[in-house]
Structure 1
């Protein structure tokens, strides 16, 4: 490690050397081909992690492509975030495989040193479309009441058991609706980066 540099600073430099060509906006990484729509409008810069499996498989001479999360974001304070966008149905096993495979690719590409780094530094955010994933029986008045109380509480609902991976493979896990993702993640990060905040 170079004198005067933290491990995180050096890892970020390595990340940029290996993956910078896949940098894009968070909006672009959130694009859903099926519905031809975006799940957020943010111009935060992320790594489009969906582009990594093809190059990784070619380098390692693998017969098949690993699964991957949609985006990797590294904040100014050195915190890492894997972000997965789901605009439709959600399969828990598929989510877990994407998390495992994404971390393995970071390890084998030499971007992170070990699993302990992931446990201490990488958080996971699943962003889902609450309109397509109803949590209660469909009813206009029930939906209105549910949305009202969720807005009052301003809390996330833990879904799909991704929290089981906390302290095992990941530092933290979050499951946010599109609206909560904007409030809890995009607005704070854009503010820290000095960007015009997406509302």
Structure 2
């Protein structure tokens, strides 16, 4: 069983114990849906990976634990769209946007969702650890005792995926600068901050680049 599959089972256990059994897995294509425009940001030419829907857990479980009643999007903590663990034990927080990267909303959403999602997910993991149901080494390549904050910085990565119709010169400049290991433009300062303060890395792809450079090469085990 892959680390990803074990993590799915762990979160299913948490949801069931909380009294809110839900379906937490969807495909990347499904999770890339832009609700406002009824269009999917991502469609793969290679394979459509199953991943964990962080929105589903936030809205259908976490919010209901704190506020009760039916699922409530208005009081749910912010969350990224998708979560994966690869065969090397790295954790990926993935956000899909059908907007230009220069959009103020894209930048604000990425920062808000990253911080919030890491916080409430690791709060869940802390609870499961206290029940002796979770340890970092069982779900990652980490082999030593480690604090949650250190784990995020060493083993967690953020990925922003921009819809193919929203690719512009700014996105291309950012990608080229990243590839050449040069200082990225000020327009992507939010990614630089996420990489400096929170994650091991913070990258941006167009939907086609994400498919070719990440999805095609991705392995669960």
Equivalent residue in structure 1 for 2:10, among 6, 9, 14: 14
Q: Distance in 2 between matches of 1:153 and 1:160?
A: 13
Q: What residue in structure 2 maps to residue 185 of structure 1?
A: 214
Equivalent positions of 1:11-90 (< 5 A) are: 12=7, 14-18=10-14, 21-42=23-44, 43-54=48-59, 55-61=61-67, 64-88=75-99, 90=103
Q: What residue in structure 1 maps to residue 121 of structure 2?
A: 106
| Deviation of the 1:48 alpha carbon | 1.0
- Classify 1:80/1:151 alpha carbon distance in 2 versus 1 (closer, same or farther; 3 Å): closer
| Runs of 4+ more than 4 Å apart | 8-11, 149-158
| Deviation of the 1:96 alpha carbon | 0.4
Question: TM-score if structure 1 supplies the norm length?
Answer: 0.72
| Residues 63 and 77 in structure 2, CA contact (< 8 A), matched pair in contact too | yes
Q: CA RMSD in A?
A: 3.5
Number of aligned residues: 175
Structure 1 residue 97 corresponds to structure 2 residue 112: yes
- Classify 1:152/1:116 alpha carbon distance in 2 versus 1 (closer, same or farther; 3 Å): closer
| Deviation of the 1:23 alpha carbon | 0.7
- Classify 1:96/1:166 alpha carbon distance in 2 versus 1 (closer, same or farther; 3 Å): same
| Deviation of the 1:152 alpha carbon | 9.6
Q: Distance in 2 between matches of 1:152 and 1:35?
A: 30
Q: Distance in 2 between matches of 1:70 and 1:163?
A: 20
Question: TM-score if structure 2 supplies the norm length?
Answer: 0.65
Unmatched segments (≥5 aa) in structure 1: 1-7, 137-145, 195-199
